[in-house]
Amino acid sequence: MRIESIEPILLDRFLFVRVTTDTGVTGLGEGGAWAFHEATVGALGVFTDYLIGKDPLLIEHHWQYMYRSTHFRGSAIMAALSAIDIALWDIAGKHYDAPVHALLGGKVRDKARCYFHVYGTTKEELFAGVRNAREAGFTAVGHLTPFLDSPRDEPFHQSHARKIGDAVDTVRRYREIAGPDVDLCIEIHRRMTPYEAVQFGREIEPYRPLFLEDPVTPDNFDETAYVASKIGIPLATGERLTSLWEFQMLIARQAVQLLRPDICMVGGISGARKIATLAEASHLGVVPHNPLSVVSTVACLQIAATAPTFVLQEFPADIWSDQAKRPDFDQLVTGAPRHDGAGFLNISDAPGLGIVLHPDARDKFPYLPRKLKTRLHRDGSVVDQ
């Protein structure tokens, strides 16, 4: 069996990659550099020149070759490598008539606990999202900002006291609505400085969040370690990182308690399973990052199935089709995972990833390129959001 073609598929807001072999077996992957899909397509072209004619089952060798072949890495390149890696695992599973998780050593769990996504441009919408999640049977709520999901063309300004005070009060209300049986995953989206994050983190400790996610930008690991050392809440981070070695540096600094690898960014299933092993060696939790499509979701579930310290799976399907105007999972593929009504996703035992892309998906959902747009302060300076 040899690789015959590698095809990038741009549809809606996603970049899929289909790898086809000379035996007709195909694999599907996804790239995670969502703001730079066009750059990822360029990187795919370079990798394609190498991969055509190669044995698709030599997954680790191809990973090492592509990763170590140049002096340049980063998000667009790693997204391309990740998409190919996921597709090759899909091919391997179909070739051996086994789910990917069986090739990784077999399942340690039959289903994956997941969390509901909450969005809102008003406090009432955010509170309603928590209430809806609880009523739908979810036992955890994520993408849960203490701020509003405000439009980026709306200038921002709050005094320090108002910013921290409002954020703390919002988390208090989340806990009141959720009760003690629903975990809160507080998402900051890198909107705080280290001193703000420490003050905020200390003040929300009584509400027992499962984790505080990305309180500061990922540019300086020492800043993340500083925040982690000053608060009594588990700190989650990693969605913007692109390699196993960056996670190792975070762990060495005791800067993280819950690792958030993006499988479509850190080298695919091959990269993510190594990060999960790092987590296991340090008794840290794994919460795979997943803001993308159903392809990303089923790839994440292979890690959820096999990682002993897996904690929770981000699951955007039940909300994003309405709030963010994205296609429902079933509109893209057959075999999509679904929430079971009790806080879990079942893990498929179908060969490969267990999904098949609908032939007309690209026609039904034309590509929607992302525009460069960030938020500004009322004084004209750039705001992290």
DSSP string, 76-145: HHHHHHHHHHHHHHHHHHHHTTSBHHHHTT--S-SEEEEEEE---SSHHHHHHHHHHHHHTT-SEEEEE-
What pLDDT digit, counting tens, does each position of 37-67 carry? 999 999 999 999 999 999 999 999 999 999 9
Q: Which residues contact 204 (CB under 8 A, 6 or more apart)?
A: 146, 168, 171, 172, 186, 212, 233
* Confidence at residue 324, expressed as pLDDT on a 0 to 100 scale: 60
Q: Report the distance separating Cα 188 and Cα 265, nearest Å.
A: 20
Please answer whether residues 312 and 66 qualify as being in contact, where contact means their C-beta atoms are separated by less than 8 angstroms. no
- What backbone phi and psi angles, to 5 degrees, belong to 56? -70, -15
* Confidence at residue 336, expressed as pLDDT on a 0 to 100 scale: 95
**Candidate list 62, 289, 339, 377, residue with the active-site label:** 289
* Confidence at residue 321, expressed as pLDDT on a 0 to 100 scale: 46
Region of residue 99 (left: phi > 0; alpha: psi -120 to 50; beta: else): beta
Residue 205 carries which DSSP code? G
Tokens of 156: 């921002």
pTM (predicted TM-score): 0.96
How distant, in Å, are the alpha carbons of 22, 173, 237, 243, 278 from that of 282?
43, 34, 15, 18, 7
Is residue 189 annotated as a catalytic residue, yes or no?
yes
Q: Which domains does the chain have, with CATH numbers?
A: 3-98 (3.30.390.10), 102-352 (3.20.20.120)
Please state the separation of Cα 300 from the chain's center in Å: 8
pLDDT per residue, tens digit, the chain (385 aa), is 999 999 999 999 999 999 999 999 999 999 999 999 999 999 999 999 999 999 999 999 999 999 999 888 899 999 999 999 999 999 999 999 999 999 999 999 999 999 998 888 899 999 999 999 999 999 999 989 998 877 777 887 889 999 999 999 999 999 999 999 999 999 998 889 999 999 999 999 999 999 999 999 989 999 999 999 999 999 999 999 999 999 999 999 999 999 999 999 999 999 999 999 999 999 999 999 999 999 999 999 999 999 999 999 999 875 554 556 778 899 999 999 999 999 999 999 999 999 999 999 999 999 999 888 888 888 899 988 7
Angle at 316 between CA 200 and CA 213, to 5 degrees: 20
How distant, in Å, are the alpha carbons of 144, 171, 275, 384 from that of 107?
30, 35, 17, 39
